[in-house]
Amino acid sequence: MQNANHGFFGFLKIFFALDRKTDLDQGLREIERITMRSRKIVLKMNKTVGCIIMKTALISGITGQDGAYLAEFLLQKGYFVWGLKRRTSLFNTDRIDHLIKDVHESNTHFNFLYADMTDSTNLIRVIQDTQPDEIYNLAAQSHVKVSFDTPEYTANTDGLGTLRILEAVRLLGMTEKTKIYQASTSELFGQVQEVPQTEKTPFYPRSPYAVAKLYAYWITVNYREAYGMFACNGVLFNHESPIRGETFVTRKITRGLAHIALGLQKKLYLGNLNAKRDWGHAKDFIEAMYLVLQQNKPDDYVIATGITTEIREFVRKAFIRIGINIKFIGNDVEEKGIIDTIDLNQFESVVGVPPAHLSIGQVLIAVDPTYFRPTDVNLLIGDATKARKQLGWQPKYSLDDLIDEMVLSDLEQASRKKYLKESGFIVRQSLEE
Ligand code: NAP
Ligand code: G4F
């Protein structure tokens, strides 16, 4: 209204200026000023309309691997993204720093709110404040081995946390508006009852993590059936990337490899080398999460590549990328991975330095029973036919592409570390594995 008045008085001013024929320049300047003002009003309107038609997504677990990729993906699709982040004593936004703009900048479509999956009042408030069209519940204590050490906390976060989100949406009367994606897992199949695993394969969880996720799976189904909510489970098989948590086996291997290649570490200790996993790339898998919520009806989907690989084989494939052929000898805890051959050209072209510190027969991989789990999942292989047919989803990355990306990224990080170390800087050495 104020702007309209400005416009009207502006025109009067021009009219009188021109009428008196005293200052034509002044009139033209006034026209220019009004045109500029009108452009600003149009821009403001565009922004307001933009906010109204923009979808809003709320992602719990924003600082994790999947949260980071999903946020980037949804921002590219034109969403406004709210990320839920728990309070930490050190900064832990490395994975999303490139998406963060200063909150004082006007045009940011990405923002954080503090929230913890163990605090329902907190979750109710953030859902009320943000009014999301879609919630992606990715927050979890996601490490299977750690869940044996912290079973109650894992149940609270991964199991009850999901209930808290569903119940918040219901209590706030948002069941018609808000769709919910629940990050379910192939760990539910555990001691597999069928090969490959589909949406119909019975569950047999083998860890406190998997049991907590079992509750989350069924409470999601229950809220869908009981209250007609658009609540879905994506039963995702293992998915990895260069930003995968450093203590999951794939990243532990590619990081260890990079440190060994550059002389920063001598050996890599692993646990159960016999386990087999259906590994995909996280970038492919987060796209499936989005597709699950774009369907006409809520449903549950298995998301997998359909190819399974032993941990031992992952090790071999990764080291081959830098020209080292690993041979496994011995059994059980005595098993070792030794250097069988080295392709010097391949090593030097990928790593950037010659393998002067490495020799044939040298032990690079050893087994440490510390990493064994009281009960492990030996074989996972998924059948994603339903997702392929109904969502039109298909992975783009092969396992070799994934390994390639992870190895190169970890080599780059290790090179930086080596450079800093050699230049006399103190580099962080994490002993957590
Ligand atoms: P991730 O890297 O471990 O990330 C987990 C996220 O949850 C982090 O942002 C973490 O915050 C947050 N979180 C943990 N406890 C929380 C709490 N009490 N309150 C609030 N936030 C909390 O896991 P991911 O690989 O991205 O996996 C995403 C989800 O998919 C998880 O639910 C996982 O269980 C599930 N899933 C993963 C896979 C896979 O292969 N990656 C497969 C199937 C299912 P901090 O950064 O502060 O720790
Ligand atoms: O890489 P992992 O720790 O992943 P795990 O247990 O399969 O769980 C991951 O995938 C699940 C989906 O199926 C997610 F739901 C879950 O949140 C997480 O993202 O271990 C993979 C296998 C296991 O059998 C483990 O015993 O690798 C074996 N392994 C052998 N040595 C090791 C190690 N695992 C780890 N973390 N560290 C080792 O040194």
Length of the chain, please? Answer: 433
Q: Does one domain contain both 28 and 71?
A: no
AA letter at 397 = Y
Instruction: Give the end-to-end CA distance of the chain in Å, rounded to a whole number.
Output: 62
What is the tally of structural domains in the chain? 2
3-state DSSP of 98-135? HHCCCCCCCCCCEEEEECCCCCHHHHHHHHHHHCCCEE
User: Using CA atoms, how far apart are residues 271 and 366, in angstroms rounded to an integer?
Assistant: 9
| Residue 430 maps to a domain | no
Distance 245 CA to ligand 2 centre (A): 11
Judge contact between 154 and 141, C-beta under 8 A: yes
Indicate the top mutation candidate among 149, 213, 238 to test ligand 2's pocket, ranked by most ligand atoms within 8 A of CB: 238
187 is catalytic: yes
Give the torsion sign (CA, 227, 184, 95, 155): positive
Any residues with Cβ below 6 Å from ligand 1, and which? 60-67, 86, 88, 92, 116-118, 138-142, 157, 183, 185, 236, 238-239, 245
Number of the ligand 2 atom closest to the C-alpha atom of 213: 15
Q: How far apart are CA 283 and CA 329, in angstroms?
A: 35
* CA of 207, closest atom in ligand 2: 6
Nearest to 82 by CA among 104, 106, 61: 61
- Judge whether 239 and 282 are in contact, CB under 8 Å: yes
Torsion-angle region of residue 72: left (phi > 0), alpha (psi -120 to 50) or beta? alpha
Is residue 270 domain-resident? no
According to DSSP, residue 5 is labeled H
Q: Report the separation in Å between the CA atom of 367 and the middle of ligand 1, taken as the mean of its atom positions.
A: 27
State which of 29, 50, 71 marks the end of a domain: 50
**Statement to judge: residues 92 and 223 lie in one domain:** yes
CA 193 to chain centroid, in Å, comes to: 29
pLDDT tens for each residue of the chain, 433 residues long: 333 334 443 443 444 444 444 455 565 555 445 444 543 443 344 344 445 579 999 999 999 999 999 999 999 999 999 999 999 999 999 999 999 887 777 678 999 999 999 999 999 999 999 999 999 999 999 999 999 999 999 999 999 999 999 999 999 999 999 999 999 999 999 999 999 999 999 999 999 999 999 999 999 999 999 999 999 999 999 999 999 999 999 999 999 999 999 999 999 999 999 999 999 999 999 999 999 999 999 999 999 999 999 999 999 999 999 999 999 999 999 999 999 999 999 999 999 999 999 999 999 999 999 999 999 999 999 999 999 999 999 999 999 999 999 999 999 999 999 999 999 998 877 766 6
User: Closest ligand 1 atom, CA of 62?
Assistant: 9
CATH number at residue 203: 3.40.50.720
Residues 285, 278: Cα–Cα separation, whole Å: 12
- Choosing from 243, 249, 303 the residue with most ligand 2 atoms within 8 A of its CB, the one to mutate for a pocket test is 249
Which numbered atom of ligand 2 lies nearest the CA of 240?
19
Write phi, then psi, for 358 (nearest 5 degrees).
-115, 145
The answer on 191 and 81 residing in a single domain is: yes
Q: Which domain holds residue 17?
A: 2-50
Same domain (yes/no): 144, 213: yes
CA distance to 147, 208, 380, 385, per residue, from 141 (Å): 7, 11, 20, 29
Nearest-CA residue for ligand 2 atom 23 is 275
Q: For 371, which DSSP code? A: G
Nearest to 111 by CA among 65, 33, 31, 56: 56
Q: What's the DSSP call for residue 379?
A: B
Report d(CA 139, CA 127) in Å as an integer: 15
Enter the tokens of residue 212: 């907590």
371-410 residues labelled b (16+ CB within 10 A) or e (exposed):
eeeeebbebbbbbbebbeeebebebebebeebbbbbbbbb
CA of 279 to the centre of ligand 2 (A): 11
Same domain, 153 and 180: yes
Ligand 2 atom 32 nearest Cα: 249
Which residues lie across from 315 on neighbouring strands?
A: none
Residue 144 Cα: closest atom of ligand 2? 6
Spatial distance between the Cα atoms of 356 and 334, rounded to a whole number of angstroms:
27
pLDDT of residue 262: 98
Domain-located, residue 364: no
- 421 domain residue, yes or no: no
Domain assignment present for 62:
yes
- Same domain? For 190 and 117 the reply is yes
Active site residue 93: no
Strand partners, 113: 84
pLDDT at 121: 98
Centroid of ligand 1 to alpha carbon of 365 (angstroms): 28
Residue 322 forms part of a structural domain: no
Q: What is the DSSP string of 385-414?
A: HHIIIII-------HHHHHHHHHHHHHHHH
* Domain termination residue (choose one: 176, 211, 236): 236
Quote the pLDDT of residue 27.
Answer: 53
| 89 and 126 housed in the same domain | yes
- Core vs surface per residue 153-181: b (16+ CB within 10 A) or e: ebbbbbbbbbbbbbbbbbeeebbeebbbb
* Structural tokens at position 80: 């406004």
**Which residue lies with its CA nearest to atom 10 of ligand 2?**
238
Q: How far is the CA of 199 from the centre of ligand 1 (A)?
A: 22
Ligand 1 pocket test, pick from 60, 138, 187, 203 with the greatest ligand atom count within 8 Å of Cβ, gives: 138
pTM of the model: 0.90
**185 assigned to active site:** yes
114 is a domain residue: yes
